[in-house]
A and B are shown apart, each in its own frame.
Chain A
Amino acid sequence: MGWQWFHRLGSPRWFYQKTEAWVRWLGWLAFLIIAGTIFWVMAFVPKDYLQGHSFRIFYLHVPTSMMAMGGYYAMAISGAIGLIWRMKLADMSMRCIAPMGAAFTFLALVTGGLWGKPTWGTYWVWDGRTTSTLILFFLYMGVVALQNAYQNQQMADRFSALLALVGMVNIPIIKWSVDWWNTLHQPATIKLTEESTMHGSMLYPLFVMMVGFYCFFAWALIKAIRIEILRREYRTDWVKQIIAAENK
């Protein structure tokens, strides 16, 4: 066995046919975990002594931020695999992650703003983490824009892979510089709440929610890649057969 599975991933057809059966179940799993945890969080988790009910958005904010950050690495690594081993599926996955990652980053900013209003008294603060997240959003949009600028898909893939890799190298530098900048211009009026040790009853739903979000991300990504496969391989016989079967 060994590396066979990895080589098989090089074939979009193999991927399309293998995921056919279970991708729907992955979607249902993600839905059940997320819906169940939202119910758990709304009904059973005690409210925060300081922030009251508003802290419950934390359970959406933290997982979306995690997906936003992790998505960039997933995109850059997919790009690198595509660049080095010329693996079609990796190129497709990079292209599909870019808009998804941008959407998650946007949601992280929105949920952060909605949470910030009742706790910090404002939707937007130029604090270190918020600013880094905004820049991450711009980095994603750069990759999306570069992807869309080229008619030639192969060139678009190679260029965006390079850009994603440059971005990945830069993310720690940007993060550091923004943190440094923030200590230079620390706004005096707004104090972040101290990082408190959370009680287990508040922590476990977070972990479950993270698992749910990972499942959701995987499901959405596989769905997007399947569509991308059909789009790029529409000239091949096996895709033509699928389309013919659909139209019957």
Chain B
Amino acid sequence: MNENSSPMASPGLLPALSAQFKRDALIAFRNRGELLNPLTFFLIAVAMIPLGVSPESSLLSLIAPGVIWVMALLATLLSVDGLFRADYEDGTLEQLSLTPHPLYLMVLAKVLLHWLITGLPLALLSPLLGMWLSLPAEGYMPLFLSLLLGTACLSLIGAIGAALTVTLRKGGILISLIIMPLYIPILVLGTGAVTYAIDGFPFMSLMSIMGAFLAFSIAFAPMVTASALRISLNG
């Protein structure tokens, strides 16, 4: 990183953001194995349910929305843990906080990348898992849409937890503990939308509420994350 500390010579906001985004994407794609881990976890964890509960399709179709949603939530939670840790440990985060650009947008760019490499693939995988768990045909669309919007909220809120535990060697259980209660509204809305659609009710109103939740999270979650990161750096 040959960053110039004088604000005059530093690049504008958009070049800085896109440089950071490209760098993070490059690092993510260089560690291709790690990229697949959350998705593999998602698949294995969902496959455990028929093995542990029952392969009876009438029972599975009843619990499918909840099971897929809970597993997506856990997969996001496990992957969000290390969102800032490597950058904190090698000093990149400190450099980012010294640039004249708002840390808020830097955080947002990082979360966007996290969503692109975990949340989006999770949503794309969901039809396969719906098939495994004999989800009724009406449930596929709302499951995909709710995961698409919902995982973005999960990444944004998870980033708060990642920032709060970034200075700890391992955040693992602690981040789950502090973030999971905050995930409950999204879980309830997501499974609710799928259940609504299966029961033949219109579900788009629930998608709108989820969209509102996402807008709210975009506005406020990176703010909290940024201030937690500043505390970690100055602490």
Contact = CB atoms under 8 A, between A and B. Distances in A.
A145 B231 CA distance: 18
A154 B185 contact: no
A155 B164 CA distance: 10
A141 B178 CA distance: 8
- Which of B168, B177, B182 has its CB near the most chain A CB atoms (within 10 A)? B182
B184 A162 contact: no
Nearest to A160: B164
Interface string A71-89: 0000000000000000000
Given A162-B224, A180-B188, A184-B192, A154 B181 contact: no
Interface string B203-235: 000000000010000001000100110011001
A180 B191 CA distance: 12
A166 interface: yes
Given A159-B231, A181-B192, A174 B178 contact: no
B164 A135 contact: no
A135 B181 contact: yes
Contact of B184 (A150, A174, A184): A174
B184 A135 contact: yes
B195 A146 contact: no
B181 A145 contact: no
A180 B177 contact: no
A170 interface: yes
Contact of A138 (B174, B180, B213, B232): B180
Interface string A145-178: 1100110101100110011011101100110111
Interface string B171-189: 0001001111110110011
Interface residues of A, number: 30
Contacts of B192: 180-181, 184
B115 to A, nearest CB: 19
B178 A145 contact: yes
Contacts of B195: 184
B167 A155 contact: yes
A153 to B, nearest CB: 11
B224 to A, nearest CB: 6
Interface string A98-116: 0000000000000000000
Interface in A191-236: none
Nearest to B178: A142
A67 interface: no
B107 interface: no
Contact of A154 (B174, B184, B235): B235
Contacts of A165: 224
Nearest to A177: B185
A135 B195 CA distance: 23
A68 interface: no
Contact of A149 (B168, B180, B182, B227): B168
B64 interface: no
A220 B23 CA distance: 52
A97 interface: no
Shortest Cβ-Cβ A-B pairs, 10 listed = A142-B178, A177-B185, A155-B235, A181-B188, A138-B181, A177-B188, A158-B231, A139-B181, A159-B164, A173-B185
Interface of A: 135, 138-139, 141-143, 145-146, 149-150, 152, 154-155, 158-159, 162-163, 165-167, 169-170, 173-174, 176-178, 180-181, 184
30 contacts: A135-B181, A138-B181, A141-B177, A142-B178, A142-B181, A145-B177, A146-B164, A146-B165, A146-B178, A149-B168, A150-B167, A154-B235, A155-B231, A155-B235, A158-B231, A159-B164, A162-B227, A163-B164, A166-B160, A166-B182, A166-B224, A167-B182, A170-B182, A174-B184, A176-B185, A177-B184, A177-B189, A180-B188, A180-B192, A181-B192
Given A142-B181, A145-B174, A163-B164, 19 more contacts: A138-B177, A139-B181, A142-B178, A145-B178, A149-B165, A149-B168, A152-B235, A154-B235, A155-B231, A155-B235, A159-B164, A162-B224, A165-B224, A167-B182, A170-B181, A170-B182, A177-B189, A178-B188, A180-B192
